[in-house]
Amino acid sequence: MHIATLPCKYGIGQLGKEAYDFADFLSRAGQSYWQVLPLVPTGYGDSPYQSFCSVAGNEYFISLEKLCERGLLTEAELKKCETDPSSRINYEQLYLTRYSVLRKAFSRFDRTDAGFTEYVKKGEYADYALFRAIKDSRGGRPWNEWEDPLKFRHEEAIEEFAYEHEEDILFWQWAQYEFARQWSELRGYVHDKGIKIIGDIPIYIAYDSSECWMRPSLVKLDSSRRPVTVAGCPPDAFCETGQLWGNPVYDWERMKEDGWSWWKARMKKVLSLCDVVRIDHFRGFEKYYEIPYGEPTAVNGRWSLGPGTEFFRELERSLGKMEVIAEDLGALDDAARAMFAEVGYPGMKVLQFAFGSGDGNEYLPHNYADSNCFAYTGTHDNDTLLGFLSKLSGDDRKAFDETFRRELELLGLPACGESYEETCDSIVEMCYSSVAECAIIPMQDWLKIGEEGRINMPSVLSARNWSYRIPHDYASEALENRMRSLSQKYGR
């Protein structure tokens, strides 16, 4: 359950009452983990995987109600921000209105607050704040379209801008300070309920990000600061032209020369916010697919070597043992599998991928070699279970049915009825009954919500991506009882 997906009458899920209510619900339902998507500001396509900063907090998540409780907003101002609590997220409307509300709160904030004074003195998020202030002043244009003195960070131009826009820069720092305050309070509450938070980070940073602008040497850019190559996935059975993500790829050799200091700082920050971290596209650390910048598709890319196991050994020498989930989905070669085995982090088993290709499918629970994995019914990139099942037809439906029935028998689970809803419940129980270290179920699958509950369609630019929110009446006693009873039945 991503923060954004929570029902809230202020346009998007926030770190206020709705988040605390969800923690209470999880506690009553006997759950011990809450997994979220990246907590970062969303960028291109409203995606948390295309963020303006890989370690900043999403300012939209700041609870307006909490600001009101502290006298930073009025009840009337709060009322003007209200929307239907279960409507889809309208990112354009948020972009046009939310920052002005937050600026009002900032205008009433006590600048002499000791914590904030120290925060600013330390330079916390100063680079990000400068980046956002310049971006605002240039109509939101990406940094590569700014005039050269700012684009190339000429010292005199930066100092002049900072002097003239001190208040704007301070606002963006305050927003991060407020996000951190609210997130820390929520996380403490969640911990008191006996629940740990699983966070998420993309492997790559966005081109239009404060990191790319401040530290262009992190990635492969030419002298004019354009990407040399960008990331993606090669053509496969699901997409004949591959996936063109557009993120610049890392200059791993240069990163290694300074001991991967940026990655160490990034992981340290994310691990300070969450208890466990899922790293997206983990196979890219062994080999990554890069496509020449400007190509219309991912067809003409190539595989290049990543930093491999040595990278993670070095991170853990600095940070200690990291609680990491390695996203190992998709086609893997022997070298990638060897790296996964060497680093030892649990991988992912997604049951939507399990059925229809015979009893040898590695995602079928009876084939899990050991408990070193996290089992999922689906992820943010999948359709919901109900949506997935309702689209099966013909030979695909027949193949699914055959594999599904055999798996129920192999796991000793009761036979299932004919309805899609009953099949959903059985697949959830399969997930729980597996030997996997942990079973993670998207709330949409607990609630048996159809395709309208899908979070993202990969490589598709759509207003439906990242915009779904669950119904405000999700927390029924019947659902709590089912979740708790399954947890007790399978010792989870």
pLDDT in tens, 430-459: 999 999 999 999 999 999 999 999 999 987
Please give the structure tokens belonging to residue 274.
Answer: 């969450």
Average pLDDT in the chain: 96
* DSSP class of 41: P
Which amino acid is located at 401 in the chain?
D
> Closest Cα to residue 98, out of 162, 171, 164?
171
CA distance linking residue 233 with residue 40, whole number of Å:
23
Return the pLDDT at 484.
Answer: 98
pLDDT digit string, tens, across residues 80-117: 999 988 789 999 999 999 999 999 999 999 999 999 99
Return the pLDDT at 262.
Answer: 97
> Closest Cα to residue 29, out of 491, 482, 489, 492?
482
> Closest Cα to residue 176, out of 39, 11, 81, 78?
39
Return the pLDDT at 302.
Answer: 96
Active-site residue set: 280, 327, 381
> Closest Cα to residue 327, out of 282, 289, 366?
282
| Three-state SS at 243 | strand
CA distance linking residue 446 with residue 432, whole number of Å:
12
Return the pLDDT at 154.
Answer: 98
pLDDT band for position 358 (cuts 50, 70, 90) = confident
pLDDT digit string, tens, across residues 267-280: 999 999 999 999 99
Return the pLDDT at 426.
Answer: 97
Paired with 292 in beta bridges are 229
CA distance linking residue 177 with residue 5, whole number of Å:
23
Please give the structure tokens belonging to residue 464.
Answer: 């439906």
Over residues 294-319, mean pLDDT: 96
Could you write out the DSSP letters of every residue in 276-302? EEEETTGGGGTEEEEEETT-SSSTT-E
Please give the structure tokens belonging to residue 407.
Answer: 């798996």
What does the angle CA 476 – CA 479 – CA 483 come to, to the nearest 5 degrees? Answer: 145
Please give the structure tokens belonging to residue 35.
Answer: 């997994």
CA distance linking residue 37 with residue 353, whole number of Å:
21
What does the angle CA 97 – CA 172 – CA 58 come to, to the nearest 5 degrees? Answer: 65
Taken in order 363, 426, 276, 367, the sign of the CA dihedral is negative
